[in-house]
Amino acid sequence: MGETEEEKDQAGKLFENFIQASTCKGTLQSFNLLCRLLDLDPQDHETFYCSLKTRLTSWRAKALWTKLDKRTCHKEYKKGQACVGTKCLIIGGGPCGLRTAIELALLGAKVVVIEKRDTFSRNNVLHLWPYTIHDLKGLGAKKFYGKFCAGAIDHISIRQLQLMLLKIALLVAVEFHVNVEFVKLLEPPENQENDGPGWRAEIRPADHPVASIDFDVVVGADGRRNTLEGFKRKEFRGKLAIAITANFVNRNTTAEAKVEEISGVAFIFNQKFFLDLKEETGIDLENIVYYKDNTHYFVMTAKKQSLLDKGVIIHDYIDTEMLLSSENVNQEALLGYAREAADFGTNYQLPTLDFAINACGQPDVAMFDFTSMYASENAALVRERFGHQLLVALVGDSLLEPFWPMGTGCARGFLAAFDSAWMVKRWAEGRTPLEVLAERESLYRILPQTTTENIGKNFEQYTIDPGTRYPNLISTCVRQNQVRHLYINGELP
């Protein structure tokens, strides 16, 4: 009995370490220790969450179970039986890959996420739409990160969001592997016996256990440079747009607390600000956003001429890749430009503007080209080879690249995560490939049009069922004969 109490106490402490862990590695370590102590195997994905719940009964744990139980009750998951037997591979542990993983696990699928890095290091801050805040709170966000969207705050650093989603994913028995890179799909071999291998993934390192798992579903969530074959990309080419992001150390002093944030949408219309900025500093911007988060985060779109005038860009090239190549950028001048814009933008009220340090140990400032943005032409396809079918889908930036200053990445990314989970559910129900694809493409047509205004307002009712999120939904606008080319019965390219 004494031993049990001691064990309970220790488990409570390990759980606390897990909840508090502030790095990707620390989270995985504390989770493994906890599972070892409780003698639980997360690979028993069908029973893991329930077993964990009965074993962890501290008030902190119970408060989290109450939240998560409410979620697992959604009728779409069919008590975790909707996708039992379906094996899903998710490429990329960014916010959208992780969010998709959680939904698939709640549907009862076996879910494996591979992430090529082993750190969550992006300080940059994501704008959250009200529904995403509601969604994350419903998954217990505040239990993991007490400061999550307190008061009027509607943003979170990418790093913090990944951390929180990883913890939730682990609790619902998602397998998460770091330092594993997806290379390509491997089709099933010909002339095999019935129990021969199915669709697999070539990964690095090649001898990793994930290499020998057969998958029914593969989801590309590896960011803007999607590595999955077979998806054509549409380019949206606008006028030259150069974005700069900058993160400064937030010491959380009273003086810093008083400085007002700049919400991008409202600010775009404030012409006087931009004229004054140009006159006083020579900096010419189209927009600027400032969020006070773990760092003081700024994202701004700068006009090329002012970057040339201020010596940030050295030579004027028409080719944007050459224009923004590291050899053509004066890093010191870029730091100065970002700092001056941040100082002016906050009316010189931030007492110190010391750059936060990025994953490479450098001041966290970056310049990106937004002239071209890409979207995949299609959201999913089905491959069939030697009697084995594979459902392949894209989510997040791989599917639809966001324009960061507008903050659509996470919001539309999560909608696509839910739509993809819905598709996997349909797939598991035994619907035909064309039925599944036609519905998915119909939903994908809606995605680029979504705004905070035109999606459903009753967040409490949101589930993976698209009808709960998209008012006036017509989920048959794409017909089956329009998606025949997405059902590929043949060799991989």
Question: Of residues 86, 124, 157, 468, which one binds ligand FAD by CB under 6 A?
Answer: 124
CA 493 to chain centre: 28
| Neighbouring-strand partners of residue 390 | 383
**Binding to ligand FAD by residue 299, rule CB under 6 A?**
yes
| Touching ligand FAD, residues 301-320 (CB under 6 A) | none
| β-strand pairing of 242-249 with 295-302 | antiparallel
Closest CA to 383 of 429, 442, 433, 424: 433
What string marks each residue from 425 to 464 as x (binds ligand FAD by CB under 6 A) or -? ----------------------------------------
Integer Cα distance of 374 and 232 in angstroms: 10
Q: What share of the chain is helix, strand, coil (3-state, %, to 5)?
A: 40, 20, 40
Cβ atoms within 10 A of the Cβ of 209, count? 11
- Residue 130: in which H helix or E strand, if any? helix 130-138
Beta carbon of residue 203, minimum distance to ligand FAD (angstroms, whole number): 8
**Binding to ligand FAD by residue 58, rule CB under 6 A?**
no
By beta-carbon proximity to ligand FAD, the closer residue of 35 and 135 is 135
By beta-carbon proximity to ligand FAD, the closer residue of 174 and 410 is 410
Question: Of residues 355, 404, 422, 427, which one binds ligand FAD by CB under 6 A?
Answer: 404
| Cα end-to-end distance, the chain, whole Å | 62
By beta-carbon proximity to ligand FAD, the closer residue of 150 and 360 is 360
**Binding to ligand FAD by residue 11, rule CB under 6 A?**
no
What string marks each residue from 86 to 115 as x (binds ligand FAD by CB under 6 A) or -? -----xxxxxxx----------------xx
339 Cβ contact list (under 8 Å, min separation 6): 246, 248, 353, 355
Query: Residue by residue, what is the 3-state secondary structure of 99-116?
Result: HHHHHHHHCCCEEEEEEC
What string marks each residue from 234 to 273 as x (binds ligand FAD by CB under 6 A) or -? -----------x----------------------------
Integer Cα distance of 227 and 222 in angstroms: 7
User: What's the length of the chain?
Assistant: 493
| Neighbouring-strand partners of residue 290 | 262, 298
Integer Cα distance of 168 and 481 in angstroms: 39
By beta-carbon proximity to ligand FAD, the closer residue of 299 and 390 is 299
SS3 341: helix
Rounded to 5 degrees, φ, ψ at 109 are -75, 160
Question: Which part of the chain contacts ligand FAD (CB under 6 A), choosing from 274-282, 316-324, 346-354, 405-413?
Answer: 405-413
Integer Cα distance of 185 and 383 in angstroms: 11
By beta-carbon proximity to ligand FAD, the closer residue of 35 and 141 is 141
Residue holding tokens 């701004």?
300
SS3 170: helix
Question: Of residues 12, 223, 230, 456, which one binds ligand FAD by CB under 6 A?
Answer: 223
By beta-carbon proximity to ligand FAD, the closer residue of 42 and 409 is 409
Question: Which part of the chain contacts ligand FAD (CB under 6 A), choosing from 143-151, 222-230, 279-287, 354-362?
Answer: 222-230
| β-strand pairing of 380-385 with 487-489 | parallel
By beta-carbon proximity to ligand FAD, the closer residue of 94 and 108 is 94
> What is the radius of gyration, based on Cα positions, of the chain?
24
**Binding to ligand FAD by residue 221, rule CB under 6 A?**
yes
Question: Which part of the chain contacts ligand FAD (CB under 6 A), choosing from 134-142, 253-261, 385-393, 404-412?
Answer: 404-412
**Binding to ligand FAD by residue 80, rule CB under 6 A?**
no
Determine contact, residues 261/292, Cβ cutoff 8 Å. yes
Beta carbon of residue 305, minimum distance to ligand FAD (angstroms, whole number): 23
Beta carbon of residue 413, minimum distance to ligand FAD (angstroms, whole number): 5
By beta-carbon proximity to ligand FAD, the closer residue of 130 and 196 is 130
Beta carbon of residue 195, minimum distance to ligand FAD (angstroms, whole number): 28
**Binding to ligand FAD by residue 185, rule CB under 6 A?**
no
By beta-carbon proximity to ligand FAD, the closer residue of 376 and 398 is 398
Question: Which part of the chain contacts ligand FAD (CB under 6 A), choosing from 20-28, 141-149, 393-401, 426-434?
Answer: 393-401
By beta-carbon proximity to ligand FAD, the closer residue of 181 and 261 is 181
Integer Cα distance of 272 and 269 in angstroms: 9
Beta carbon of residue 455, minimum distance to ligand FAD (angstroms, whole number): 18
The sign of the dihedral angle between the CA atoms of 317, 321, 322, 326 is: positive
Integer Cα distance of 481 and 72 in angstroms: 36
Determine contact, residues 131/60, Cβ cutoff 8 Å. no
Beta carbon of residue 232, minimum distance to ligand FAD (angstroms, whole number): 18
Integer Cα distance of 61 and 70 in angstroms: 14
Question: Of residues 198, 345, 396, 433, which one binds ligand FAD by CB under 6 A?
Answer: 396
**Binding to ligand FAD by residue 227, rule CB under 6 A?**
yes
Tell me which residues touch ligand FAD (CB under 6 A): 91-97, 114-117, 122, 124, 126, 158, 181-182, 221-223, 227, 245, 299, 396-398, 402, 404, 407, 409-410, 413
